[in-house]
Structure 1
Amino acid sequence: MRTRRSVRTGRALAGVLLAAALAVTGCSASGDEGASKAGGQGVAADEKGAADAAPESGKQGAPGGTADRAAASAPPVAAEHVIRTATLTVRVKDVPKALDEARAAAADAGGYIGDETTRRDWRGHEHTRVVLRVPADAYEEVLTGLEGTGTLVERSAKAQDVTDQVVDVKSRISTQRASVARIRELMDRATRLSDVVTLEGELSSRQADLESLLAQQVALKDRTSLATVTLTLTEAPSKEEEKDDDPGFLDALAGGWDVFLTLLRWLALALGAVLPFAAVAALVFLVWRTLVRPRLPRRPDPVPASGGPGSLPVAPPVPGRAPGGGDGEA
């Protein structure tokens, strides 16, 4: 009886343990499945967010994106304030006609004539130098038109960027105006006479600095808005004059004569420069010879040396005998 009960008890206990094991296994499987589902959803969400963020990064800051391509294709910033100057020398057949064309070109471009000088050489050829002020936008067009009026002999052009200087002057003007306004506010609040006098002196100094800066700004604006072209027009020599330019014997003779006259002229100039000094020296010598020299004490004549220790004795003269060695009596 005891054996049957123990067998039944063992079978019941084994069944309970098996049921408990199956229950635990099912719970763990369901937990793992839920966790795997949640993890999959999180990864999918992360991947979706990364995919959504990728276009934005490509648009804004990613290497090779739209912003980088736009920055690479953007043209460089051009200089805003440039001073342009040019110098032209043109040889023309008719100087007055070419000058009229230059004036018309400057007027059509909206510029004006700044300065004009005309002269003639020893052959009667006319030479004109004119300064044109034209707008910067029409600078190249006017320059090309002036070159076509004749034969171009010389050309030089220069461009100077003064953008930094213009910005600096503008900033200093703003600062100086604010300073002047503060000084005026302090003058309105001042009550003592000494303070008013001090503030008036400071206001005068700052106002002068402001006017100087404004003058610089106006000058820079004028030089950057209008380009300067200096044009020199020379009359072309004729064919006969070109032939006459070959030197000959008469030309050499004339050149030698000019050199000779130049030498005489320089000698005359040198003589004229030395002549006053020579006259003063002659006058001094004459005064010394006529007035000073006669009054100077004269030196005594030198006495002949007496017989010294080294001299030979001299025999006294013999009476009755001539000094020449003959007898004294006839």
Structure 2
Amino acid sequence: MHVRGTTKVIAAVLLTGVLLAGCGSGSEDSGGGSTQAGAPAAEPAVGEGARDQAAEGNTSEGKNTPAQAPDLRVDQRSIIYTGSITVRVKDVTAAAAQATGIASAAGGFVGGDERHSGTGSDTANLTLRVPAAKFSSVVDQLAKLGTEEVRGINTQDVTEEVVDLDARISVQKARVDSAKKLLSQAKSLDDLVMLEREVATRESDLASLEAKKRRLADLTALSTITVVLLDPDATQATDPDDEPPGFLAGLSGGWDALKASMAVLLTVLGAVLPWILAIGVPAWAIFYTIRRLRRRQPPAQPAPATPDATS
């Protein structure tokens, strides 16, 4: 009985130890599980920060990357503005000075100035270059110099051309750089000459593309306005193409065509007449002389008939 009691006690102690070990391992497992569960919760924060930085980096780098889609909003498009306005003023000289001042105040300049005076009426043709953002306001200010008679405004959207040029310039720069790298690695004289020629050709193409881009940039940044100033006695020149069609227009066109044809015919006749006098008159004189000599010669007499020998 004593042995059985001792055995039960030992069994109970071993069972308790096993249970305690299981609880300890369970607590460790649960602790490890909580740590592993907590790790993913912390990792997303780090991952989000990295993604944000990568996104910022991609955004900052994407500004200079040709593959990025261009911003084609209305306020970001490249548009060329051109306009013309005709104003009748009291004093052409004073109005021209005011127009020049309007352009200078807007940040522009005078690109051309042509004036006519002393013929009974004064006129002035000014070509103004002003910033595109102030194009409309400048035109309105010019209209207030006197009585506006004609106004015309044209726009040309060159956004696609600008985007295409940017992409082509980027590709051409990469081609130039690659050609220069190959040039630095040339090992023979023939390769050196060939690569130098290739580099020169690619650089020339790149310069041409950049010149086109600068031209478009100038046209989009500065708008062109043609200003015609007329005094009260000046008559505005009319374009013949603006005449309305009709019988009178057709008659006028036919008369103009007839005059042009007659002018051409008289020109040809004037060019040929000296040759006619120099060659035709002597030829006619020779022909006339030969004809008269033939008339003076007596006609040939017929030969007398001979008698037949058999008769």
TM > 0.5 between the two?
yes
Q: Is 1:171–2:167 an aligned residue pair?
A: yes
Match 2:157 to one of 157, 161, 164: 161
- Deviation per residue, 1:78-110 (Å, 9 max, x gap): 152100000111111111011001100000001
Q: In structure 2, how many angstroms separate the alpha carbons of the residues matched to 1:274 and 1:150?
A: 57
**What is the SS of the residue equivalent to 1:199?**
helix
Q: In structure 2, how many angstroms separate the alpha carbons of the residues matched to 1:270 and 1:179?
A: 59
Q: Which residue does 1:88 correspond to in 2?
A: 85
Match 2:226 to one of 227, 230, 235: 230
Give 1:155 shift. 1.0
Give 1:77 shift. 2.3
Give 1:283 shift. 3.5
Greater alpha carbon shift after TM alignment, 175-184 vs 148-157? 148-157
Match 2:125 to one of 120, 124, 129: 129
Q: Higher relative contact order at CA 8 Å, sep ≥6: structure 1 or structure 2?
A: 2
After superposition, where does 1:1-330 map in structure 2 within 5 Å?
77-78=73-74, 79-120=76-117, 123-237=119-233, 272-273=270-271, 275-280=273-278, 281-289=280-288, 301=299
**What is the SS of the residue equivalent to 1:128?**
strand
- Deviation per residue, 1:107-163 (Å, 9 max, x gap): 000101111112248x42112111000001111110001111111121110111111
| AA matched with 1:202 | E
Q: How many residues align?
A: 205
What is the identity percentage for the equivalent residue pairs of Structure 1 and Structure 2? Answer: 36
The TM-score, its normalising length taken from structure 2, stands at 0.58
Structure 1 residue ranges without an equivalent (≥5): 1-75, 239-261, 307-330
Q: In structure 1, how many angstroms separate the alpha carbons of the residues matched to 2:296 and 2:189?
A: 89
- Deviation per residue, 1:45-80 (Å, 9 max, x gap): xxxxxxxxxxxxxxxxxxxxxxxxxxxxxxx92152
| AA matched with 1:125 | S
Q: In structure 2, how many angstroms separate the alpha carbons of the residues matched to 1:95 and 1:191?
A: 71
Question: What value does the CA root-mean-square deviation take over the aligned residues?
Answer: 3.3
| AA matched with 1:178 | A
Q: 1:295 to 1:212 in 2, by over 3 A?
A: farther
Q: In structure 1, how many angstroms separate the alpha carbons of the residues matched to 2:85 and 2:299?
A: 88
| AA matched with 2:103 | A
The TM-score, its normalising length taken from structure 1, stands at 0.55
- Deviation per residue, 1:196-215 (Å, 9 max, x gap): 11111111111110000010
Q: In structure 2, how many angstroms separate the alpha carbons of the residues matched to 1:298 and 1:144?
A: 94
Q: 1:155 to 1:302 in 2, by over 3 A?
A: farther
